[in-house]
Amino acid sequence: MLAPPPAAPGSPVVDEQPITINRSVTRADRIFRFALAASGTIVLIILAAVVVFLAKHGWRAMTAGGLHFITDSSWSPDSGRYGAMSLLVGSIAIAVVGVLIAGPISIAAALMINEYAPIRMRSFLTGAVDMLATVPSIVYGFWGLELVSNLQAAPAKWLVDHFGFVPFIRTPTPGEFVQSIFACGLICAATLVPIITSVSREVMAQTPRDACEAALGLGGTRWGMVTDVIFPFSRDGILGAVLLGFGRGLGETMIVVLVLSKANKMVWGIMGPNGLGSIAKQITEDFPTATPIDQSALIFLGLVLFVTTLLVNIAARQIVQRGGRS
């Protein structure tokens, strides 16, 4: 920047000051701005309304049940017990299994699209991964119930036989390995792959290109470049992407409704039927035929699920954004 030339003595300095333009906002524009802000507010109103309405209708059951809601694992409306422990643990377990399976696949797919695939294949791969998200979850559920749940039975049996000492890897009812939490998580993974892939792909793409090329130029292998440049740079973003997938897995409804068998027993095993339950499944199946007090309890369950996924999502977005900025 050049310094402004010194003003000649006696010349008026006033002329060089920037003039202020007073752009008056017309009434039409004021209405327009208001309409824009109002439409933004509608999103907030919907969110607030969801929380308020669910809380209002779920209040009755919550005050009746109290702390038993979390500590009791028996959800039996007939005897007036609303213990959601098995449902909560089951929902979390499904999401964890889904993320453990979908995470590595998604990171591989993201690296494939960003770094490994030939240029011409990239748009096809992106489309294919997005297409996974377009297939309706009820179709995944139906497919999973008829095919995957049976296909995974033999590997699940093998896992239990040889790695039964690992926590959670056992079956509540000996001899059977279908319609389990594990099967649900496995099928849910198909719906989690697109979200984790697209988010982590965007974060990885922000890695400075010259740093990648410097690594290659120093004689590093491509995998060396990935582990030493891309992963350190996008670690937070990938973590956030996985967390987003976890939030999605918590709320997965139709797959769980179709695949999981219903027992709602508090067991620490994920490989067999008649074990843990799931919040979304419980609401979907019981709500239409429930009595008012049962409905209230189910609505409160819905509120718990909603608030949990909301918090997980917000945390995940924060992590992704922080990762992208650094």
Partner 1 sequence: MTTFADPSPPAGAPLPPPSGGPVADRPNRRRRVSSTKLVEMVGSAVAALALVWVVFAVTGVSAPLGMAFAWFAVFFTIYGILCWRLYGILIAKDRMADVGIWGGALVALGTLAAVIIYVILKGAAAVFTDFPHFLVADMTHLGATASITQLGVGAAIVGTIEQVGLATIITVPLGVMTATYLVNTDNPYSRLVSAVVDAMTGAPAIIAGLFIYILWVAPHHETGKSGFAAAMALAVMMLPIVTRAAQEVVAIVPGSLREAALALGAPEWRVLLRVVLPTARAGLMTAVILGIARIAGETAPVLFNAGGLEAYNWNPFVGQQDNLPLRIYENIFQPGAVIQQSAWGASLVLVILVLLLFMLARFLGRGGAGRRSFVPWARRRRSSTLENA
Interface with partner 1 in residues 174-233 (CB under 8 A): 190, 193, 195, 197, 221-224, 226
Q: Is 268 in the site for partner 1 (CB under 8 A)?
A: no
Location of structure tokens 């067999």: 272
Using CB under 8 A, count the residues that bind partner 1. Answer: 92
Numbers of helices and strands, H then E, in the chain: 14, 2
Please say whether the dihedral angle defined by the alpha carbons of residues 135, 305, 182 and 263, taken in this order, is positive or negative: negative
- 250, 267, 271, 319: which one binds partner 1 (CB under 8 A): 250
Say if CB 142 and CB 243 are below 8 A apart. Answer: no
Q: Where are the alpha helices (DSSP H) in 112-180?
A: 119-134, 137-143, 149-151, 153-163
- Nearer to partner 1 by Cβ, of 145 and 181: the residue is 145
Least gap, CB of 115 to partner 1 (angstroms): 8
- Nearer to partner 1 by Cβ, of 222 and 322: the residue is 222
Interface with partner 1 in residues 116-175 (CB under 8 A): 116-118, 125, 127-140, 142-143, 145-147, 151-152, 154-155, 158
Interface with partner 1 in residues 62-91 (CB under 8 A): none
Interface with partner 1 in residues 95-114 (CB under 8 A): 104-109, 111-113
Q: Is 319 in the site for partner 1 (CB under 8 A)?
A: no
Q: What's at 21, amino acid-wise?
A: I
Interface with partner 1 in residues 1-20 (CB under 8 A): none
Least gap, CB of 215 to partner 1 (angstroms): 12
Side-chain-side CA neighbours of 169 within 13 Å: the count stands at 12
State which H helix or E strand residue 81 sits in.
strand 81-82
Say if CB 106 and CB 196 are below 8 A apart. Answer: yes
